[in-house]
Every structure is written in structure tokens, then in C-alpha cells.
Amino acid sequence: MNISLENQTAIVTGANSGIGEACARALAAAGANVVINYVTKPEVAEKIAAEINVAGAGRAIAVAADVSNEAQVEAMFVRSRAEFGTVDILVNNAGLQKDAALQDMTLDEWNLVIGINLTGQFLCARAAVREFLRRGPRPEVSCALGKIICMSSVHETIPWAGHANYAASKGGILQLMKTMAQELAPKKVRVNSIGPGAIKTPINTLAWATPEAEHELLKLIPYDRVGEPSDIGKVCVWLASDQSDYITGQTIFVDGGMTLYPGFATGG
Ligand code: BGC
């Protein structure tokens, strides 16, 4: 399938590593202009943007913004419009973990994770929807007025001991995504989530970096391999394209079967 996102612009939050980087590179390879959002390591974001620009498909700029900060999110959208004219696609990807047993979890750890993973998705989605409505339809590039892709997790449905803040944020994204999809479908805005399982990124290096850890992890993955960021990038491009035009309000799990309750394959 040859998907073209030419003349569309995507903002990808948290795009200077892991899944966000893979989504940004894949969207650009499909022809979209991309905004590489980041908070730390500006040199990495600039390098990714430069590599995308050299590749010669979509263009890229790096834009700093903390997605949990309303003013910074607004400024990122102003900058994106100034550079590329409008925004067609938002990949709400920025997220982090601050793991702790419940009795040890501090309010700061709770607020940080909810602030970035959940409130950040609200702030960016709100700004994107305002831009879609301001700009109006562009039938020459897409059937939809705009597309929002929320990066969720298998943990929007699988409880995760020791990660209450993270699991709560992902459970919140599920209802945020579905409610936005219901509310915005009549306006032709499509809102979907990707639910990654274990993907080889910096967020979970400890879970796959040694053969022992990977062996343990694979017990949770029926398809018997740990995911790669590009596994998510491909689905992101498809969800952003008209190939998925009739899909809204859905989570596509990209998890090698992690949500299939593999413990029940032999038990129960
Ligand atoms: C988490 C990873 C974890 C994976 C599967 C993701 O949402 O960020 O740390 O490996 O879920 O449990």
C-alpha cells in the first residue's frame, strides 16, 4: 500500500526518541511535514529534523514545548502554523513513567505522569481541534477535517502493579479518546489510539536489554518478539491516512498479542 500524506502537516509530541521518533520519521517518509516536539535533548530533535530534511520527502522542524504547559502548547501550534500553514495530524505521543509501589508514590510522581501523559494529550488535542475548525476542510489532501492519534498502551486495559500513575493515565486516555471521537465525528475529525505493547525504546530498556530480561518479557508476548518502534510508525501512518477513513474511536493494539491474556494459553 502506497500511502501519501503529501501537503499535510503532523505535530508529533515527544518525537526525539522511541515511538515518537519512529512516527515522525514514518510520517515524513510518507510525505507529511512534521513538527518534532521535544523537551530535553534539543540536539537530538534537531538531528532528526535535519535527517528528515535531507531525505527529501516531508520537511521537518524541531519545536520545544512541555505538553503539560498550556502556553507552551499554544506557542507550538503558532510556530507550526507559521512554518507550514496549518496542522492536519496530531500524534499525541509524549509520555513517561515514574514507577513506584502505591504506598511509596509521591504526589509529585502522580502529578507529573498524569500531567504529561493525560493533561498533555488534552491540551494538544484541544489546540489541534481549534486549528482544524479554524482552517476548514481540505478535500484535496484528506477526507477528514483532521486526525488525532493518541499514543496509549496495553495498560489502558491491563492493570499494572507498581505503575498506578501510568496505568491511570492510559485508562484516562481511553475515555478521552473515545469521547473526543464521539464529539468530533460529525465535524469529520477522526480520533483513534494506538496501544503499543512492549516496544524497544528508552522507556523500558530494563525489560529487554539483557537476554534474561528479554526471555522473561517474551512470556507475555505470544508473537514471541519484542516490538520495534517502526511497528508503531507504520500503523501511525495508516491511521493518519484516508486508508483508515471509516475508523474513529478505536484503539489499535500493536502488541504481538500481549492483550490476549497469554497466561490462559495453558491455564485457566
Ligand atoms: C510501557 C512499557 C511496557 C509496556 C508493556 C508500555 O506502555 O511504557 O514500559 O514494557 O507497556 O508492559
pLDDT tens string 123-166: 999 999 999 999 999 999 999 999 999 999 999 999 999 999 99
Q: The whole model's pTM is what?
A: 0.98
Interatomic CA distance for residues 223 and 141, integer angstroms: 36
pLDDT of 206 > 90? The answer is yes
Is 223 considered catalytic here? Answer: no
Interatomic CA distance for residues 122 and 92, integer angstroms: 9
Ligand 1 and 197: CB distance under 6 A? yes
- CA of 170 from ligand 1 middle (Å) equals 11
- CA of 227 from ligand 1 middle (Å) equals 11
40-95 pLDDT, tens digit each: 999 999 999 999 999 999 999 999 999 999 999 999 999 999 999 999 999 999 99
**Surface-to-core class of residue 184, CB atoms within 10 Å of its CB (0-12 exposed, 13-18 middle, 19+ buried):** buried
pLDDT of 1 > 80? The answer is no
From the centroid of its chain, how far is CA 251?
12
Ligand 1 and 154: CB distance under 6 A? yes
For position 188, what pLDDT does the model report? 98
- CA of 189 from ligand 1 middle (Å) equals 28
pLDDT of 267 > 90? The answer is no
Taking CA atoms only, the protein residue closest to ligand 1 atom 4 is: 198
N-term to C-term CA, the chain: 40
From the centroid of its chain, how far is CA 243?
19
Interatomic CA distance for residues 195 and 178, integer angstroms: 14
CATH of domain 9-255: 3.40.50.720
Taking CA atoms only, the protein residue closest to ligand 1 atom 5 is: 198
For position 187, what pLDDT does the model report? 98
List of residues 6+ apart from 71 with CB closer than 8 A:
none
State which ligand 1 atom lies nearest to the alpha carbon of 158: 12
For position 213, what pLDDT does the model report? 97
- CA of 64 from ligand 1 middle (Å) equals 25
Query: pLDDT confidence of 268, banded at 50, 70, 90?
Result: confident
pLDDT of 176 > 80? The answer is yes
| Alpha helices for 61-204 (secondary structure H) | 70-84, 107-113, 120-135, 164-184
CB 192 within 8 A of CB 248: yes
